Structure 1
Amino acid sequence: MNAYRSKSLSFPWPPLLYSLAVITALYLNQDYPVRLSYPWIVVCWGIGALLTIIAVTLNVWAVKTLIESRTTVLTQRCTAHLVTKGPFSFTRNPTYLGYTLLTASLGLMIGNVWFVAMAAVAAALTTLLVIRCEEMHLLSRFGCEFEFYCRHTRRWI
């Protein structure tokens, strides 16, 4: 039996990765602060607020879509169905995209640009440690249907 068929991950990496990104950004800002001038502070706050709304909306929509599709929200469990509707119709990883946007947007709102850099690092690590395993799980469970979905839907955006 294929090891990926039963479940994609044995540990919930995404919360840990994004938490470490936030902690690292806070630490870097203490040692290497990047100061923004007044007009940029206001612009960054506005962009951050907009991105926060988008990120939270995307995550809520993704979780709602998974629940409505009667499949798991948790990455450590075996998925029951390949979900391709809702936010999954334009990105294969809407929750991770939401986490990344939220991390970057919080940094913009508090004026800590290290959050933006660490959001990119967390997204890269999520791709390497999480998404590739999840994709192997989905490929082993859904085969050609998942391959077709991958050809027509981008991994991130």
Structure 2
Amino acid sequence: MITFFTWLPLAYFLYAKRDLLLSFRIELLYILNIIGIIILVLGVILHFWTAKLLGLWGLVGLPEVSIKARGKLVTEGPFSFMRHPTYFAHSLMFTGIFFITEVLAVGMITVVDILLIHFIIIPLEEKELLNRFGEEYRLYIKRTPRFFPHI
């Protein structure tokens, strides 16, 4: 939910200035274009996998909005090896799109997106999850890395 309201004004700005923003490109090695396709596909697969586990309401953040929708802590599938596979998947997709399109604005948005997710959105979400699930989430944090082991 936070992500939606964070990106909505930015999306409008990008749409309004799209011709200017899309004109700045950088030339990447061809292999990075291929890697971009692979990263994008992996991100889409991971995103669909997490969406299947969370369901539509969990994916759009309904449990965070509704006190009655407590739900259960999801720890299976991709959540068994990382705490935030949805954010990781969407960062992979942004990175892949940047490598494919070579548009500088996409690269800049990717960096801003990763920084916002890592330093603002995830800490807020984890605080909310600790309030909602307590000790169960504390134990989950201890045994499951945020994105990768030791990162």
TM-score range relative to shorter protein: 0.7 to 0.9
TM-score (norm 1): 0.73
Match of 1:88 in 2: 79
Q: Residue 3 of structure 2 is aligned with which of 14, 18, 23? A: 14
Given that residues 37 and 96 in structure 2 are in contact (C-alpha distance below 8 angstroms), is that contact kept between their aligned partners in structure 1? yes
- How many positions carry a matched residue from both structures? 139
Instruction: Assess, with a 3 A threshold, how the Cα gap between structure 1 residues 16 and 52 changes in structure 2: closer, same or farther.
Output: farther
| TM-score, structure 2 as length reference | 0.76
Unaligned runs of 5+ in 1: 1-11
Structure 1 residue 52 and structure 2 residue 40: aligned?
yes
The question of whether the paired residues in 2 share the 8 Å contact of 1:44 and 1:111 is answered with: no
Alpha-carbon RMSD: 2.9
Whichever residue aligns with residue 47 of structure 1, its letter is I
Q: Runs of 5+ in structure 2 lacking a partner?
A: 65-69
1:73 is matched with which residue?
59
Relative to structure 1, is the Cα distance of residues 114 and 56 closer, same or farther in structure 2, using a 3 angstrom cutoff? same
2:130 — aligned with what? Answer: 139
Deviation at 1:113, TM superposition (A): 4.6
| Amino acid corresponding to residue 147 of structure 2 in structure 1 | W
1:82-131 Cα offsets, whole Å, 9 max, x none, are: 11111111211111111111111111111225433431221221234322
Q: Secondary structure at the match of 1:72?
A: helix
Change (3 A) 1:48 1:18: farther
Q: Mark the CA change 1:77 to 1:109 in structure 2 (over 3 Å): closer, same or farther.
A: same
Q: Point out which structure has higher relative CO (alpha carbons under 8 A, 6+ apart).
A: 1
Change (3 A) 1:47 1:101: same
Question: Identity of paired residues, percent?
Answer: 27
1:4 matched to which residue of 2?
none
The Cα of 1:135 is off from its aligned counterpart by 1.0
**2:51 alignment counterpart:** 63
Q: Which residue of 2 aligns with 1:100?
A: 91
